[in-house]
Structure formats: C-alpha cells, structure tokens
A and B are shown apart, each in its own frame.
Chain A
Amino acid sequence: MDGPFFTAIGLILGADAGLLQIIGLSLRVTLTAVLVACAIGLPLGAALALARFPGRGAVIVLFNALMGLPPVVAGLVVYLMLSRAGPFGDLALLFTPEAMILAQTVLILPIVVSLTRSVVEDIWAEYREQLQSLGASRLRAVPTLLWDGRVSLLTGVLAGFGRASAEVGAVLIVGGNIAGHTRTMTTAITLETSRGNLGLAVALGIILLTLTLTLNALAWGAGQWARSRLG
C-alpha cells in the first residue's frame, strides 16, 4: 500500500498548487456549462412539454437520443465548428476554456431539456385545468410549472453536472489538455496515468469522487427537505 495512494494523499493534504489550479479550472468550466445549459434547457424543455406542433415527437426523440451522445463526438463537432476552417474559426476559441464550456454545454443540454420536458409534462397534466381556470395562458404557465417542479428538476441539473465533470473526450479534443490553461481533472488523469505518474492521477480521482458524492448527498438532502416541507 505505498506508492500512488500515499503520494495522492500527500498532494491533497499539501494543497498542491498545480492540483488546485486543475480543480479550479474543471469546476469553472463545468459549472459555467451547467448554468448555460439550464438557461437554455429549462425554458426549452418546458416549451416542448406544452407546445403542440408537427414534428414534436421527432424533436423529443432527438433530445432523448442526444442524452447518449458520446463526448468525443460532441467534442469533434465543436472542434469542426471552431477550427480555423470552420464557421466560427474567426473567434479563435479552439484550445481555450470557453471552447470546453461550449462542448460541455452541448453534452448537458439534452439531459436538461429531456428531463425538464418529462417533469413539466407530468405537472402540466395535473395542473392544466386549474391553471387554465385561474386564467394562466400556456406561456404564463411555464415559469409556474418550472418552479413547482424545482425539486425534480434539481436531479436533472445534477445529472448534467455529473456527466460534464466525468467526461474526458470532449474537453480533450477542444481544449487540447494544455498545462495550466485547459488541463482539467479528467484530462490530467488520462495524461498522468499514461505517463506513469499515478500519484497525481489518483489524487484527482479521489477529488472527483468526493465532489460527486458531496453533490449527490446535497441534492438528496435538499429533495428530502423539500418533500417534507413543500409536499
């Protein structure tokens, strides 16, 4: 039991500067991506739940399917968009944290949209007549339904966070894993493992796991509290 595990503990307890920089960047990228995906996905998912238009079924299936989009494919698509020859090449975003945020947003958005649609659809089935009776239009019902579904929606947002913080393919392709600039926890684990530098890899692995556990515990606690408090 000596070697990588003890090196890892040492790095964590010593609050190694390189380690902190990598964690900070990972959190910044993933949290920003979650925020952007929510800002787009919550209203879009709710609209999809309430709107009736030709091709609605196809859109729902598309978003459901995109939940399983392989991160490397999402990375590849964003890479093609942002590369010199791509449509957004002039923005010079490739190999920047912003490119990684964009790629992770693409990964999270389908999760937020699909889960929001499903949650809001269920609440709408229950609320529809009552809201109509109280005088709410469909458009006005959207914020009401999102707010009343807030506990269930939190689970979806968290699933999105989990997916983004765990993936390596997309951020590796569009970020380039540049030390001190675009190196995240997952890309660092990949690199350090291949280099045989297991201590840092294990340290990052422990932190990723702890982060995921903590977030899930918080969400579960919030859900329990809300159920007992809000009914």
Chain B
Amino acid sequence: MSHHRAIAASILPLRLEAAGYAVGGEPLLSDISLTVTAGRRLIVMGANGAGKSLLLRLCHGLIAPTSGRRVWADGTHRPEAQAMVFQRPVLLRRSVAANLDYPLALRGLSRSARRDSVARTLDRFGLAPMADRPARLLSGGEQQRLALARAWSMSPEVLFLDEPTSALDPSATRIIEEMIEGFSAEGITIVMTTHDLGQARRLAEDVAFLHRGRLIAHHPAANFFAGPTAPEARAFLAGDLVWS
C-alpha cells in the first residue's frame, strides 16, 4: 500500500552507539551498540529484568540514553514514522473509531482525511462491526488488535512491540502474530520483545539477546537457535528445554 511507501527519506537504520540508561547511578542498560535494519523482524530476548522493555523504550524515544547515542538515519531526534504497542495497551475511554482517530488528530490531519483513514483501518482489521463500541469494554484480544491497528494507521516504518501477546490466550495470540507478519510483509520493520520461545522461533529473522542490561548476542535467528556462542544465551535456551 502506497500509504507506507510515501515517506521520502527513511528513518532507518536506527543505530544505538554505546547507549546506556542508568537511574540513580544504577545502570539498567549498558554499552549497547545495535543497528535496527529496515525490513527485518528483530526479536529481543532475555530473562525478566534483562532490560528488554527498557531497550524498546529507549529505541522508541520514551526514555533518553544517559550515555552513548541513539541515531536515526534521517537525523531527527524522534521521527514520527514509528509506533509502539505495549503489553497492556492503553485505550482511551471512548469508542473504537475515536481511538483510531486520536493519534491522527494529534498529527493535525484534517477531519475528512481522518475519517477516510479510520474507515480504511477499521475495514482492514475487521473492526468495522465494533467501531462504535467503547474500546475499554472489548476483550483483551480485541483490545490488542485495536492497539495494533492504531499503531498501523500511524504509517510507521518501524513498529516496537513489547510482549504484545503475553496477556492473551492462544487463539488471540495467533491473530496478533498474523497481524505482525502482515505488517512485516508490507515492509514495516518489527522490533519485538517476547519471553515465549515458540513465538520467537515463529517470528524472528534476527535475535538480540540481553543479559543484565547488556547486549550479549545479535544474530540472524537461524544461527541463534542453532546454538548461540554466548554461554548466557545457551543457558537461556537450555532452560526452555528443561521447562517445556
């Protein structure tokens, strides 16, 4: 769809250069150098507390690195062509359609352009029958679908997803994964965290592995799952075998 191709200068690749994030002198992310390449699906893995969510927030611009740099290819501080979906999406206390309208209004789109875009998004994701329902009363799976639709309607070049299915049942998870694959097929770059190894295997083209706030490995997925060189990553994968 032309919609996503209209951007002249790409904001990608995104480069983190020795980026770190510390709170009160305590480093939560340290010395992370990472390039997010256009068109790939990068899965960020690691144990709880490894810094996966923080890394996504740092990339997305919700927090600023306290050391090192975050550099977008278009040279801007925080480009518009990006979106993020949270583990528990925050939907506004208004209708499904109004939730889709909101970010477009923030961008200053005209009323008619917004109406067209909202209608297109509702259709594309099968949300039209619930357009007038209050978003907060949807099921968890429907809410996350709406959150992804809202993110898509912002025409992102890169979409950050923080554990988007961890609160969902298997069938809702499946729908969300299909949406993510669809976005990827349109050329949207995906950066996603998950603690679900099965999901990581299904979706990953590249894997970044975090351990205690440090980037231990960043490989194509096949290499990573075949047997990572880093002992922490090996232990993490082995832990999955023990528990599954």
Using CB atoms and an 8 Å cutoff, list the residues of chain A in contact with chain B. 126-127, 129-136, 140, 144, 147-148, 150, 229-231
What number of residue pairs across chains A and B have CB atoms under 8 A from each other?
47
12 A-B pairs with C-beta separation under 8 A: A127-B90, A129-B57, A130-B86, A130-B90, A131-B90, A133-B62, A133-B83, A134-B102, A144-B92, A144-B102, A231-B135, A231-B137
How many Å from the CB of A88 to the closest CB on chain B? 41
CA distance A148 to B57 in the complex (A): 25
Partner of A130, one of B80, B89, B136, B154: B89
> Are B106 and A129 within 8 A (Cβ)?
no
With a CB–CB cut-off of 8 A, which chain A residues contact B150? 134
With a CB–CB cut-off of 8 A, which chain A residues contact B83? 133
> Are B106 and A140 within 8 A (Cβ)?
yes
CB contact under 8 A between A129 and B62, given known A135-B103, A230-B134: yes
CA distance A140 to B107 in the complex (A): 11
With a CB–CB cut-off of 8 A, which chain A residues contact B135? 231
With a CB–CB cut-off of 8 A, which chain B residues contact A135? 80, 103, 106-107
How many Å from the CB of B100 to the closest CB on chain A? 11
Residue B111 CB within 8 A of the other chain = no
Nearest 3 Cβ contacts at the A-B interface: A231-B136, A130-B90, A231-B137
> Are A230 and B62 within 8 A (Cβ)?
no
Residue B93 CB within 8 A of the other chain = yes
Partner of B106, one of A134, A148, A150, A231: A134
How many Å from the CB of A77 to the closest CB on chain B? 38
> Are A231 and B93 within 8 A (Cβ)?
yes
Residue B97 CB within 8 A of the other chain = no
> Are A134 and B103 within 8 A (Cβ)?
yes
> Are A133 and B60 within 8 A (Cβ)?
yes
Using CB atoms and an 8 Å cutoff, list the residues of chain B in contact with chain A. 57, 60, 62, 80, 83-84, 86, 89-90, 92-94, 102-103, 106-107, 134-137, 150, 154
With a CB–CB cut-off of 8 A, which chain B residues contact A136? 106
CA distance A229 to B134 in the complex (A): 7
CA distance A127 to B91 in the complex (A): 9
SS of A interface (majority): helix
Beyond A135-B106, A144-B92: 20 further Cβ-contacts under 8 Å?
Answer: A127-B90, A127-B92, A129-B90, A130-B89, A132-B62, A133-B84, A134-B150, A134-B154, A135-B107, A136-B106, A147-B93, A148-B92, A148-B93, A148-B94, A150-B93, A229-B134, A230-B137, A231-B135, A231-B136, A231-B137
> Are A231 and B134 within 8 A (Cβ)?
yes
Partner of B93, one of A132, A133, A230: A230
Instruction: Count chain A CB atoms within 10 A of each CB in B92, B94, B136 and give the residue with the most.
Output: B92
How many Å from the CB of B157 to the closest CB on chain A? 15
Measured CB to CB, the nearest residue on chain B to A126 is B90
CA distance A136 to B80 in the complex (A): 11
With a CB–CB cut-off of 8 A, which chain A residues contact B102? 134, 144
How many Å from the CB of A153 to the closest CB on chain B? 12
Measured CB to CB, the nearest residue on chain B to A231 is B136
CA distance A140 to B103 in the complex (A): 11
With a CB–CB cut-off of 8 A, which chain B residues contact A132? 62
How many Å from the CB of B152 to the closest CB on chain A? 13
With a CB–CB cut-off of 8 A, which chain A residues contact B62? 129, 132-133
CA distance A129 to B84 in the complex (A): 10
Measured CB to CB, the nearest residue on chain A to B78 is A135
How many Å from the CB of B188 to the closest CB on chain A? 16
How many Å from the CB of B11 to the closest CB on chain A? 14
Measured CB to CB, the nearest residue on chain B to A137 is B106
With a CB–CB cut-off of 8 A, which chain A residues contact B134? 229-231
Instruction: Count chain B CB atoms within 10 A of each CB in A129, A134, A140, A231 and give the residue with the most.
Output: A134
How many Å from the CB of A79 to the closest CB on chain B? 43
With a CB–CB cut-off of 8 A, which chain A residues contact B86? 129-130, 133
CA distance A4 to B90 in the complex (A): 57
With a CB–CB cut-off of 8 A, which chain A residues contact B94? 147-148, 230
With a CB–CB cut-off of 8 A, which chain A residues contact B57? 129
CA distance A213 to B86 in the complex (A): 43
Measured CB to CB, the nearest residue on chain A to B147 is A130
How many Å from the CB of B148 to the closest CB on chain A? 13
Partner of B136, one of A129, A131, A230: A230
